[in-house]
Structure 1
Amino acid sequence: MSRISALIVARNEAERLPDCLASLEPADEIVVVLDRSTDASLAIAWKRAHRVIEGAWATEGERRNAGLEACTGDWVLEVEPDERVPAALWPEIRRVAESSTHAWHRLRIDNHVGDRLIRRGWTGRLGAAEKPVLSRQGAKRWRTGRMNPGPDWEGAEGPAIVASGLHRVVDTDVSGLLRRLDRETDLEASDRLAVGRPGSLPAALAGSVRGSFGSYFRQGGWREGGWGVLLAVCAGVAPVLSHLKARLEPERHRDEGA
């Protein structure tokens, strides 16, 4: 029987960790990586996790790699603190872990704003309709660059798991979504400054058009009514905000991504 490790990487997530950890009980192992947390996350993590790793990492890739290396299961399921694994999804995860001949699989993400499920229109740092979060041990390695590095893979991708999805509460309301857009563009500005590439305004404007078009049309945001319009606006504004923050306030954003 294949063992499944559930991995959470978090920083000051005491409010959301209990529900997330509770949803991971069917896993064979729970590993939590805490990056410079100063709230009650450590005590909460130890109530359910088999391993808790504390440290300070310069990039997202480095802290995620530390978590992957700490996992001992045959498969690793990466879960964000704002995500929950519904009970109905675990049998499908188990089925794939036992029968798959592939190295990694995407899972459907059911994104919610408050109690409202919004399936379409998610792009970039604000969210995704599917994510590659289930992988064999050793199949995934995060790059350590600052500009949205993403992972490298060993082996082929298998069919996505879509019969049920990870439950994610992205934000509680529209204001929360806009505040998160502000935080995410802060981090993007920091990433740009860290690699010395703040970019140009024409490039940012071109990215804005691609982001809005991709969100509303390619990702099907038009099917979500006003919510789809909101997501398309956020996707379009994000590249311009990130660029202008890096250009206009470099001292403020230089170290925010650390």
Structure 2
Amino acid sequence: MNASSPASPDRVPLSACIITFNEADRIADCIASLAFCDEIVVVDSHSTDATVEIAQRLGARVLLRPFDGFRSQKQFAVDQCMHDWVLCLDADERVDATLRGAIEAERGRGFGDAAGFRFARLSEYFGKFLRHGNAYPDRVLRLFDRRRGGWRGTREVHEAASVDGAVRTLRGDLVHHPYRSLEQQLQKTQRYARMMAQHDFARGKRATLGKLIVSPAWRFWRGYLLRGGFRDGWHGLVYAYVRANYVRQKTIMLWLLQNGQAP
């Protein structure tokens, strides 16, 4: 079924939504993995590359909206969908064959009594899929009935959907290609660290010397040793180290904010 064809009368109609900004190299694969959906909505933050043209050519309905936060952008996308059951992806994610089959099976049953479904996210990291540590299974709630939930709350980074009702877990993976390069990852984590520090500071959370020392170390050893990140070889080592550094950056920025300094 193409991106905008009408829903079959004997199954629950399903919308997919994606938020984008300069994703010309990745949006086609994302949309292709959503071919089983009845419509695909793309909310684009005024990309300067060919993202919009590619998405439209592949049958998606594209809306332009200035970016004001990940959560707000995703909830806007959900609100624009034609159907109440929605599947939310980022442009760097794809639904694998097993997950598609699981979604289709639940769809054939009318999604039962569930308000939403979660599934594992499998991340590719410089040529290798990480299957251990803090990286996997990294289950995310991305398929839900918008009448009973959505992208709620006030946190605009590390946002998460939530629903009122039962959440089931599906087989299969949401295949994730999060970073084009190490430099891009470092820039991305620094941006997220700043946004999280600002969010935590606004909520009254404060950094301590103990957290500054202990929290990054705990993040590394929990993921690399306790959760088996070492089993992913040097990829797992680099991933664990960069993620620990994210915690360090976030804590330092929070420390600066509480002492009247701009991060």
TM-score normalised by length of structure 1: 0.82
Which one of the candidate residues 190, 193, 202 is aligned to 2:198? 193
Unaligned stretches of 5+ in structure 2?
1-10
Asked if residue 102 in structure 1 is aligned to residue 111 in structure 2, the reply is no
Does structure 1 retain, via aligned residues, the 8 Å contact 2:94–2:175?
yes
Q: 1:146: Cα distance to partner?
A: 4.1
Q: Which secondary structure does the structure 2 equivalent of 1:117 belong to? A: strand
Q: 1:93: Cα distance to partner?
A: 0.8
* Aligned residue-pair number: 244
Which one of the candidate residues 179, 183, 191 is aligned to 2:188? 183
Percentage of matched positions with identical amino acids: 24
Q: Give the distance between the partners of 2:66 and 2:55, measured in 1 at CA.
A: 17
Q: Give the distance between the partners of 2:218 and 2:255, measured in 1 at CA.
A: 21
Q: Is the alpha carbon distance of 1:79 and 1:139 closer, same or farther for their aligned partners in structure 2, counting shifts above 3 Å?
A: same
CA RMSD of aligned residues (A): 2.6
Q: 1:17: Cα distance to partner?
A: 0.8
Does structure 2 retain, via aligned residues, the 8 Å contact 1:103–1:154?
yes
Q: Which amino acid aligns with 2:185?
A: R
Counterparts of 1:43-122 in structure 2, within 5 Å, are 43-99=53-109, 100-122=112-134
Asked if residue 226 in structure 1 is aligned to residue 234 in structure 2, the reply is yes
Which residue number in structure 1 is paired with residue 5 of structure 2?
none
Which residue number in structure 2 is paired with residue 161 of structure 1?
170
Q: 1:248: Cα distance to partner?
A: 6.5
Q: Is the alpha carbon distance of 1:177 and 1:101 closer, same or farther for their aligned partners in structure 2, counting shifts above 3 Å?
A: farther
15-24 vs 239-248, greater mean Cα deviation: 239-248
Q: 1:10: Cα distance to partner?
A: 1.2
Q: Give the distance between the partners of 2:60 and 2:244, measured in 1 at CA.
A: 42
Q: Is the alpha carbon distance of 1:58 and 1:74 closer, same or farther for their aligned partners in structure 2, counting shifts above 3 Å?
A: closer
Q: Give the distance between the partners of 1:245 and 1:193, measured in 2 at CA.
A: 8
Does structure 1 retain, via aligned residues, the 8 Å contact 2:15–2:39?
yes
Q: Is the alpha carbon distance of 1:177 and 1:135 closer, same or farther for their aligned partners in structure 2, counting shifts above 3 Å?
A: farther
Give deviations 1:154-202, integer Å, cap 9, x for gaps.
11211x212x212222335xxx245413322223213423655673443
Bigger Rg, which one? 2
TM-score normalised by length of structure 2: 0.80
Does structure 1 retain, via aligned residues, the 8 Å contact 2:14–2:86?
yes
Q: Give the distance between the partners of 1:17 and 1:80, measured in 2 at CA.
A: 9
Q: Give the distance between the partners of 1:119 and 1:203, measured in 2 at CA.
A: 28
Q: Give the distance between the partners of 2:227 and 2:255, measured in 1 at CA.
A: 30
